Amino acid sequence: MEKICFKTQKGPAAIGPYCTATIYGDTVYMSGVIGVDPAAGKPVEGGTLAQAKQVFENIRTVLGELDLTMDDVLKTTVFLTNLGDFAEVNKLYAEYFGPNYPARSCVEVSRLPMGLSIEVECIARLRK
């Protein structure tokens, strides 16, 4: 099998030396996604919930480029700089990923790129 480096054309550009997602076989390993407006290239304003909404929209956009949907996501890891935001983010997460939810981990971290408060990475299945 060949490893394929996928770089988004519609989602936010990578801010470092990595690809948006690595495709290997029938699995997509998406890099962490942050709340950056792809058109402006800047973080969205409005706090953690606004950032989370942008993160989930960015994930949806990248998956769409691969002809996938949120239903194809098998596993997520959510990184928050404040676990006190968990309940609020969890409600929004449920709207985007439910009702057939992927497996998930959620951890608190001290800092995230661009001073943001949430980042989410995903593993998804390719449709054949």
Residues marked as catalytic: 106
Nearest to 119 by CA among 36, 32, 31, 51: 32
- Nearest 5°: CA angle at 53, between 99 and 29? 70
Say how many C-beta atoms besides its own lie within 10 A of residue 88's C-beta.
13
